Amino acid sequence: MLKLYNTLTRKKEIFKPLKDKKVGLYTCGPTVYWFAHIGNLRTYIFEDILKRVLEYNGFKVKHVMNITDIGHLVSDEDVGEDKILLAAKREKKTPKEVARFYEREFKKDLKLLNIKKPDIWVRATETIQDQIELIKILERKSFTYIIEDGVYFNSSKLKTYGRLWPKKMKILPGKRVKMVPGKRNPTDFALWKFPKKKRKKFLWNSPWGKGFPGWHTECVVMSIKHLGIPFDIHCGGVDHILIHHTNEIAQAEAAFSKILARYWLHGEFLLVEGKKMAKSERNIFTLKDLIDRGFKPLAFRYLCLTAHYRSKLNFTFDSLKSCQNALENLYEKTLEYKTRKKIKTKNFERYKKKFQNAINDDLNTPKALAIVWELVSDQKVKDAEKYQILLDFDKVLGFNLEKLKKPKIPEKIKKLIKIREEYRKKGDFEKADEIREKIKKLGFWIEDTKEGPKIKKL
């Protein structure tokens, strides 16, 4: 039984898809105007865990992710320039060149983090006509009005507007910033924007004149196009609750009188010194920054799993270092256990059940990791079985345990180990230590254990 916290109902609910074991999953993708920062990547890791947990439970997931390559303005509230256009100016490239470059970089990051690819990628610029069609429906149903700035959605016409908001919301989105002149309600939002006079490029024709779509329209169109309405699960970061997802739900409800998706899941922020990691805060790190400092991308994945996705996580290099050590330790153990032998006893089912209970309780990854370490130190479980169980857990954790290979030990090193063992047997530890140093210089490390010397590649 899989339980997920649904922002829409503010409850942990038993997850039941619409059709048998099939799940439609839509995750809001990146705005490709810069490298993803590790805060963004925390959200994609949470969504990857969700997808893997669904698969672990035998569901067949159809996953759609969009690429925002138009329409996301500097402010979420319909003011400021398009982020991609600003980047194009900064980098003296065309918007398309910028967008494609950062899209490729984003996909590389996903691969490095062992995040499974969506089944369908959709770019906003490739669905402009569909977005226009949706706005036409909203116009026919009298949910729109036109002002100098563009075509706007009239939120006061939809009784259910804001159903995703937490109940006790004091500040309405839109009240904090200066309103676009002519906007009737603070929560109204742009469906189609007219360009500022200076802007001549990166515009599309529409029944309302040349312009470009508002950011909140693309996800409605792309998700429905590939998953139908309603579909099962829609995800994103918590910052999407108040505006972006609220406005997605509003458009779908106004146009089709249906809820867009049945379960809405939101990942909490990655923080730096207590503040949200964000480009505007100038406190971001990219995955490359971590790699340049000697960290493995999967150490960051491990770090994300140490916190529940609905808890804030404060990023520090010290905690990343501890996670890298823990992961390396897990790799060593896995290699130690690695064997072709396949044994399955009661332990397999017992541990699987424990693990499944943890992850099925709203994706409790910290508990799942604790079970991993419980297994490692469980004297009653044979190594070969531990290996089988860890590989099973890794379907969810995604640390690539199956790909681990025992390091090839060169003949020269093997000889040195043998000579060192002879010295040790004779009690000549000084000589043995000398050889250990020699081996270290050649890139290997010897550890003496009860079962004999163990060798590790440095």
The secondary structure element, H or E, covering residue 403 is: none
The footprint of ligand AMP on residues 104-133 (CB under 6 A) is: none
> CA–CA separation, 409 vs 456, rounded Å?
9
Query: Mind giving me the DSSP string for 295-346?
Result: --HHHHHHHHHTS-TTS-EE--HHHHHHHHHHHHHHHHHHHHH--S-----H
- What type of residue sits at position 382? K
Report the residue number, 17 or 236, with the smaller CB distance to ligand AMP.
236
Residues belonging to the chain: 458
Q: Residue 113 and residue 111: Cα distance in Å, rounded?
A: 5
Among 6, 31, 154, 324, binds ligand AMP (CB under 6 A): 31
Among 49, 233, 241, 270, binds ligand AMP (CB under 6 A): 270
- How far is residue 178's CA from residue 294's CA, in Å, rounded to a whole number? 44
Stretch that binds Zn ion, among 34-42, 205-213, 216-224, 301-309 (CB under 5 A): 216-224
Question: Cβ atoms within 10 A of the Cβ of 75, count?
Answer: 13
239 binds ligand AMP (CB under 6 A): yes
30 binds ligand AMP, rule: CB under 6 A: yes
Count the site residues for ligand AMP by CB under 6 A.
Answer: 17
Report if residue 42 touches ligand AMP, rule: CB under 6 A.
yes
39 binds, among Zn ion, ligand AMP, none (CB under 5 to 8 A by kind): ligand AMP
- The residue (of 132 and 219) whose beta carbon lies closer to Zn ion is 219
Selected binder of ligand AMP within 269, 285, 300, 351 (CB under 6 A): 269
Distances, alpha carbon 247 to alpha carbons 42, 90, 140, 202, in Å:
24, 30, 18, 24
Smallest distance from ligand AMP to CB 444, Å: 39
- Residue from 74, 179, 259, 278 binding ligand AMP (CB under 6 A): 278
Q: Is 28 in the site for Zn ion (CB under 5 A)?
A: yes
Q: How many CB atoms lie within 10 A of CB 156?
A: 11
Q: What stretch of H or E contains 143?
A: none
43 near ligand AMP, rule: CB under 6 A: yes
Window of 194-202, 215-223, 255-263, 306-314 that interacts with Zn ion by CB under 5 A: 215-223
**DSSP string across 11-49:** EEEE---SBTTEEEEEE---BTTSPPBHHHHHHHHHHHH
End-to-end CA distance of the chain: 43
Least distance between Zn ion and beta carbon 357 (Å): 32
Q: Which does 237 bind (CB under 5 to 8 A by kind): ligand AMP, Zn ion, none?
A: ligand AMP
Cβ proximity of 394 and 443 under 8 Å: no
Does 134 interact with Zn ion (rule: CB under 5 A)? no
Under the criterion CB under 6 A, does residue 237 sit at the interface with ligand AMP? yes
> 236, 248, 253, 394: which one contacts ligand AMP (CB under 6 A)?
236
Window contacting ligand AMP (CB under 6 A); options: 113-121, 167-175, 184-192, 237-245: 237-245
Measured distance CA(294)–CA(100) in Å, rounded: 28
List phi, psi (to 5°) of 93. -130, 175
Compute the distance between CA of residue 224 and CA of residue 131 in angstroms, rounded to an integer: 11
Considering the complex, state which of residue 28 and residue 110 has its C-beta at the smaller distance from Zn ion: 28
Contact residues for ligand AMP (CB under 6 A)?
A: 28, 30-31, 39-40, 42-43, 236-237, 239-240, 267, 269-270, 276-278
Contact residues for Zn ion (CB under 5 A)?
A: 28, 219
